[in-house]
């Protein structure tokens, strides 16, 4: 019976890993895909490789945190309870992925494990409070840092990088070709030196975000199983990482569309800003030993940048001195390469784009709603099960 439960537990862990791949690939490579730097297939391959590298190097520390510190007695991690915990984690994440909204795997997993600890009286409130405090602070920091950049510094950054996203472009800027059976990375012939550097930067930062995701999110799939002591760490990491790769190549296509296209139409400059801000925050949290809410931070960075660009103001020409009238710029137009961008308040009315799609409030509201609903479903469902079902 124990062997059967262990097999079921591993299968459910694989299901969780599959959904982690779907949920985290979008925030890591959505900006690069939305800016048409790389394809979804290439993004999935990079996600698979760098997630594993993060999981096998720093990931074990986070696994220990969730598997031994969040509850005061690891005896609660029986095979039966683990199957239930992983079931609620995987089911809730699948709900978000099905809706095309990447949910926070850390919030979902910590919620389910905390529900087990609460129902059994073994929850470590000090550890949970520390984790939740950082979850509140980090997305706010990501939103406002990106918002300030979008509102006050984006035009100068865009002029310096001098990269435009061509809406009619069909081919990605970076592709993988095979030369004698050896994969090689090639760039489009129409890219100049500065565009090539910009494309390389956004891909490298996406890889760094994938690495950071591996350090934090591998624990969400395997920590309950590891807590039983029946399977060693390396084996579980290999299984979990393989499941993440499957999710990245399949269900992640929907979240890549949401994060790269639906919330905000990201040019390459914006993609770089989002990647730098969110990856810096995630790395900092991982360094502190916090299971980072990777999806929330990256999503709020995208939202913050879109909001910042959408709320720039400009002075209407012809206004009387002392009676200047300002209007929202909706978003900044992408400056032509080589042109000097205007300062805030110096744009002309002709510079204001009509029907701008750089910030979509309705899609943003849907994303934020689902990102809160998914962890709640996992936490409440797990608590009710452990509290009222005698089997657990």
DSSP for 353-385 reads PTT--S--HHHHHHHHHHHHHHHHHHHHHHHHH
Question: What pTM, to 2 d.p., does this model score?
Answer: 0.71
**Per-residue model confidence as pLDDT tens digits over 170-211:** 666 666 666 666 666 666 655 666 667 767 777 888 898 899
Q: Is 319 helix (H, G, I), strand (E, B) or coil?
A: coil
Q: Hey, where are the domains in the chain? A: 2-388
Cβ-count burial of 186 within 10 angstroms (0-12 exposed, 13-18 middle, 19+ buried)?
A: exposed
Name residue 182's beta-bridge partners: 179
pLDDT tens sequence across 334-364: 333 444 444 443 444 344 343 344 455 666 6
Using CA atoms, how far residue 105 sits from 42, 101, 191, 238, 294, in Å, is 23, 12, 37, 18, 8
pLDDT at 241: 96
Look over the chain and give the mean of its residue pLDDT values, rounded to a whole number: 75
Per-residue confidence (pLDDT) for residue 349, from 0 to 100: 37
Give the residue among 85, 62, 63 at the shortest CA–CA distance from 9: 85
- Where is 157: in which H helix or E strand? helix 154-161
Q: How many helices (H) and strands (E) does the chain have?
A: 13, 4
**323-343 as b/e: b if 16+ CB within 10 A:** eeeeeebbbbbbbeeeeebbe
pLDDT (average), residues 302-309: 84
| Bridging pattern class, strands 174-179 and 182-187 | antiparallel
Percent of the chain with pLDDT over 90: 12
Predicted local confidence at residue 95, as pLDDT? 75
What are the Cα distances from residue 264, in Å, to 38, 172, 280, 361?
17, 19, 21, 9
Token pair of 115 as six digits? 């529900």
Alpha-carbon distance values, 173 to 89, 261, 274 (Å): 36, 17, 19
67-79 as b/e: b if 16+ CB within 10 A: bbebbbebebbbb
Kindly report, residue by residue over 5-64, the tens digit of the pLDDT: 788 888 888 988 898 888 788 877 876 787 777 888 889 999 999 999 999 988 888 888
**Rounded distance, CA 372 to CA 320, Å?**
48
């Amino acid at each position: 019976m124990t062997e059967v439960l262990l097999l079921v537990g591993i299968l459910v862990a694989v299901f969780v890993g599959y959904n982690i791949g779907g949920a985290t690939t979008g925030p890591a490579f959505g900006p690069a895909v939305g800016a048409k730097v790389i394809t979804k297939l290439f993004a999935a391959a990079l996600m698979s490789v760098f997630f594993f590298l993060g999981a096998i190097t720093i990931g074990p520390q986070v696994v220990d945190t969730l598997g031994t510190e969040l509850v005061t007695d690891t005896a609660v991690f029986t095979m039966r309870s683990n199957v239930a915990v992983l079931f609620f984690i995987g089911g809730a994440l699948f709900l978000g992925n099905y809706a095309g909204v990447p949910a926070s795997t850390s919030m979902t997993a910590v919620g389910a494990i905390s529900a087990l600890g609460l129902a059994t009286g073994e929850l470590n409130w000090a550890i949970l409070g520390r984790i939740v405090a950082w979850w509140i602070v980090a997305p706010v920091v990501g939103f406002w840092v990106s918002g300030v950049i979008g509102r006050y510094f984006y035009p100068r950054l865009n002029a310096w990088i001098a990269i435009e996203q061509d809406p009619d472009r069909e081919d990605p800027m970076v592709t993988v070709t095979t030369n004698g059976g050896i994969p090689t990375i090639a760039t489009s012939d129409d890219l100049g030196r500065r565009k090539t550097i910009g494309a390389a930067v956004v891909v490298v930062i996406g890889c760094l975000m994938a690495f950071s995701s591996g350090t934090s999110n591998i624990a969400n799939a395997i920590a309950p199983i590891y807590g039983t002591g029946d399977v060693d760490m390396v084996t579980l990491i290999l299984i979990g990482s393989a499941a993440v790769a499957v999710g990245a190549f399949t269900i992640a296509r929907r979240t890549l569309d949401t994060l790269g296209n639906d919330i905000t139409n990201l040019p390459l400059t914006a993609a770089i800003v989002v990647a730098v801000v969110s990856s810096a925050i995630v790395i900092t949290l991982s360094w502190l030993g916090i299971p980072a809410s990777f999806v929330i931070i990256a999503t709020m960075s995208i939202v913050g940048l879109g909001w910042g660009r959408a709320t720039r103001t400009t002075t209407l020409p012809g206004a009387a001195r002392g009676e200047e009238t300002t209007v929202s710029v909706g978003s900044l137009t992408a400056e032509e390469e080589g042109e000097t961008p205007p300062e805030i308040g110096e744009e002309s009315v002709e510079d204001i784009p009509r029907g701008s799609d750089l910030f979509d409030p309705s899609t943003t509201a849907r994303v934020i709603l689902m990102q809160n609903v998914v962890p709640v479903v996992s936490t409440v469902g797990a608590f009710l099960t452990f509290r009222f079902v005698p089997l657990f």
